[in-house]
Chains A and B, each alone.
Chain A
Amino acid sequence: MAYSLSLGLLYLGLLCGNGLVSARSELFTPDPSRGPHFTGCRSREQETFRCWWSAGIFQNLTEPGALRVFYQTKNALLSEWQECPDYTHTVKNECYFNKTFTHIWTSYCIQLRSVRENITYDETCFTVENIVHPDPPIGLNWTLLNVSRSGLHFDILVRWAPPPSADVQMGWMSLVYQVQYRVRNASHWEMLDLESGTQQSIYGLHTDKEYEVRVRCKMSAFDNFGEFSDSILVHVAQIPSKESTFPTMLVLIFGVIGLVILLVLLIFSQQQRLMVIFLPPIPAPKIKGIDPELLKNGKLDQLNSLLSSQDMYKPDFYHEDPWVEFIQLDLDDPPEKNESSDTQHRLGLSRSGSSHVLNFKSDDDSGRASCYDPEIPNPEDLASLLPGHSGRGDNHPLVSRSISSIPDLGVQQTSEVEETPIQTQPAVPSWVNMDFYAQVSDFTPAGGVVLSPGQLNSSPEKKKEEENEKKIQFQLVSDGAYTSENTARQLSTEVPPSPGPEQGYQTFPTQAVEGNLWNGEYLVSTSDSQIPYLLPEAPPAPILPPVSDYTVVQEVDAQHSLLLNPPSLQPAICPHSPNKHLPAMPTMPMGYLTPDLLGNLTP
């Protein structure tokens, strides 16, 4: 509310004071396009002031007396218009207010009137302290402070005196000064900060250049600068430097050259050492515990023994799971079951009444085939192994997977063809890639073992002794689980006296096998019908995880306990691979079955 009122007052002021004389500007240049107007009012010392006007375009009013100035002091007391107390005679169109008529801190309003026509051409209002423009300082001079060592720059101290009209001793006017300088006849003046004293130093002037310096002043806490003082010229001649820089340069150059020579000499003398320091040799690869020289020069045997002694070369699964399983398929027995299960046909071999034994065995001392030759059985041999699949001709379940459907096969067989491993292709690689191990997934009532397919990726091996071998070496499947007594007993009760021709089942060898085919990995039983079964804990059908589920029954020792760890045997068993020395399998003399159980199994 109050704010709006003040705004209203201000607008009123706008209307009244259109030709305004501001505290900041000097309007000395008359505007020829206008009518009669005030061109400015100024006070020099805050004790008197003057006002000037111009007739403008109204040239008929230029004669003196045509235009008159009236003023009014707006304070509590006076409010009537009075005419200008003194029209200056020497200066045209000037009105002078002397000390008597000058009231500081009082608002004045002056009007320019033409009395004859009774027209007010212009009016302006001001207070005296706001129109003070001090006179310029006097007595400007300079003194040299110093010259730089290079003789290129110098500093000066500039001094002046306050204007005599200003009463600074009493402090009626407190002045601040501003110094400006420039290179002579340049266009731009350098301005220094306001200075309340009467001297100022200027730094960084160039010798051999002429400078102009001037100063002006204003009242502190007000904004109106006075006029500039006259400029003074500053010039310092450049003193030619007496000291010669020549020897310094020479010394410098020679010093640098000497240093360079010294450095080169140093480098050349200490070349080798420097090479070592800056380009250190890259260390040769090192295997812990192995002499690199041996690697370079040693014989292969030594190397093998050396490397085999390293832990890292042992296959991991020896450590993870000592129960390595091996599958040995004995293809002597004809298949007992007409109904085919997956594994039968996968194996396929049990059907054959041939005496071929397909041994998918490997050395006992390694999980991988040490005595292992990727011998590929002939497809004919395979075919002969499958007598049950009559009328198939070339088609037999062992045919590769690429034959997805064999029409002559039973329905049961179709599914098996997709099965993986032992139904390998007649082509070589599939045999080679066939898994060496199979996991027993189920037991037939007849006592055969049903293998699950998944892990049969080791290649079978057809050994030379397979003609001699009539039995299938059985691999026990386990998840690492033992058979319990009960189950073993059950098994034993279930076992029919004769293994009978079960199809596709692996049957245990019914007679003792003299000599160990490979690792003594078979069960020895005294009776014909004794087929000690070991029932795996695993459920019948599922595909069991690979290799780690197998254990290897190495031998049955004198106490009729099964040793599941292969003893370290001579590599002479494996004549085909004399050079493959694989680390011996660690023996783990853990019995799989106690002698009691074994006794139970063998009635």
Chain B
Amino acid sequence: MGLSVPAVAVLLVALLCLDPHGRVGSAPICAHGPSGCHVPSLADLFDRVIQHSARMHSLSNDLHSEFEQYFLPSKNHIGKIYRKCHTSNILTPNGKENAQKLAREELTEVILKLLMAWRDPLFQLHQSMAHQQDFNSFSSNKALEMGDMAHELRKGVEKVAEKMRVLGMLGNSVTGLSAAEAMLPLSDSGEAMSDYELLYCFRRDSNKVQNYLKILKCRIVPEHDC
């Protein structure tokens, strides 16, 4: 209020003109052609994504084992009774042949759907594990890492899908991810799932994702004996 209008105007102009973001435009990194930087091939991308998914699945297995040891020490392996996961509604191929028979676009879509469905529940899992004193900080860090990994994996798979689409390997029948809504983890009775159930389900789903990616890669990137 103390400043006069012209002064304010001058300030504004100065800010705008001197703003580095305003003056510097973003340039692509590999503007100088393929020799300038290394553009990863689709095979490389797939490898990275598959490694990522393997790591994620390993983490989920560790957490699940810890949980089992900690909370269910008396009976190892209480029979794995059927637990309905919130992702059970997503139709997934249940075997190698089934997955191989599935179209690439559908397979990709299934992968993305799965990953999307786990975005919020993993965050929820980390929150609840962090608050419980039963878990040590190491476990809750693992849960956090797991959630981050799922997020990154989804981004990676999206990039792969984009690349595939660019290369013409994928038809346009792949629906956008906007259609895949995040699902709330609810059990049959409609109540929120427990940590153990979440871990159990995610362990299974991460294994699915890993195997689907491998099958997809084998189909897209022609390799020997694939």
- Interface positions of A (Cβ within 8 A of B): 2-3, 5-6, 9-10, 12-14, 16-18, 20-25, 46-47, 74-76, 99, 102-107, 109, 124-127, 129-130, 167, 169-172, 174, 220-223
- Interface positions of B (Cβ within 8 A of A): 50, 54, 57-58, 61, 65, 72, 75-84, 88-89, 92, 94-97, 191-197, 204, 207-208, 211, 214-215, 217-218, 223-226
By the criterion CB–CB under 8 Å, are B207 and A105 in contact? yes
By the criterion CB–CB under 8 Å, are A76 and B81 in contact? no
By the criterion CB–CB under 8 Å, are B191 and A2 in contact? yes
A-B contact pairs, 28 of them (CB 8 A): A3-B195, A5-B191, A6-B195, A6-B196, A6-B197, A10-B72, A13-B78, A17-B80, A20-B77, A23-B77, A24-B77, A46-B96, A74-B81, A76-B84, A99-B95, A103-B95, A107-B80, A125-B79, A126-B79, A126-B80, A129-B204, A169-B226, A170-B96, A171-B50, A171-B217, A220-B54, A220-B58, A222-B61
By the criterion CB–CB under 8 Å, are A129 and B207 in contact? yes
A-B pairs under 8 A by CB, number: 117
Query: Which chain B residues lie closer than 8 Å to A171 at the CB level?
Result: 50, 211, 214, 217-218
By the criterion CB–CB under 8 Å, are A47 and B192 in contact? no
A46, B54: Cα distance in complex, Å: 17
By the criterion CB–CB under 8 Å, are A22 and B95 in contact? no
Q: A107-B82, A169-B225 are in contact. Are A127 and B95 (CB under 8 A)?
A: no
Q: A105-B207, A220-B58, A221-B58 are in contact. Are A170 and B191 (CB under 8 A)?
A: no
Q: How far is the CB of B36 from chain A (nearest CB, A)?
A: 33
A6, B198: Cα distance in complex, Å: 11
Query: Which chain B residues lie closer than 8 Å to A24 at the CB level?
Result: 76-77
Apart from A10-B196, A24-B77, A172-B211, what 19 extra A-B contacts exist at CB < 8 Å? Answer: A2-B192, A3-B195, A6-B196, A6-B197, A20-B77, A23-B77, A46-B96, A74-B82, A105-B207, A105-B208, A125-B79, A125-B81, A129-B207, A170-B214, A171-B211, A174-B54, A220-B54, A221-B58, A223-B65
Query: Which chain A residues lie closer than 8 Å to B217 at the CB level?
Result: 171
Query: Which chain B residues lie closer than 8 Å to A9 at the CB level?
Result: 81, 83
By the criterion CB–CB under 8 Å, are B207 and A12 in contact? no
A174, B50: Cα distance in complex, Å: 11
- Sorted from nearest, which 4 A-B pairs have the closest CB atoms? A17-B79, A74-B82, A22-B77, A6-B194
> Which of A75, A172, A223 is the one whose CB lies under 8 Å from B88?
A75
Q: Is the interface of A mostly helix, strand, loop or mixed?
A: loop
A126, B225: Cα distance in complex, Å: 31
Q: How far is the CB of B219 from chain A (nearest CB, A)?
A: 9
Interface core residue of A13, A22, A104, A174 (most chain B CB under 10 Å): A104
By the criterion CB–CB under 8 Å, are A127 and B191 in contact? no
By the criterion CB–CB under 8 Å, are A105 and B82 in contact? no
> Which of B75, B88, B204 is the one whose CB lies under 8 Å from A76?
B88
Q: A6-B196, A171-B50 are in contact. Are A103 and B94 (CB under 8 A)?
A: yes
A9, B196: Cα distance in complex, Å: 11
Query: Which chain A residues lie closer than 8 Å to B95 at the CB level?
Result: 47, 99, 102-104
Interface core residue of A20, A75, A127, A221 (most chain B CB under 10 Å): A221
Query: Which chain B residues lie closer than 8 Å to A222 at the CB level?
Result: 61
Query: Which chain A residues lie closer than 8 Å to B77 at the CB level?
Result: 20, 22-25
By the criterion CB–CB under 8 Å, are A221 and B81 in contact? no
A127, B84: Cα distance in complex, Å: 13
Query: Which chain B residues lie closer than 8 Å to A167 at the CB level?
Result: 96
A326, B65: Cα distance in complex, Å: 104
Q: A10-B72, A172-B211, A174-B54 are in contact. Are A105 and B94 (CB under 8 A)?
A: yes
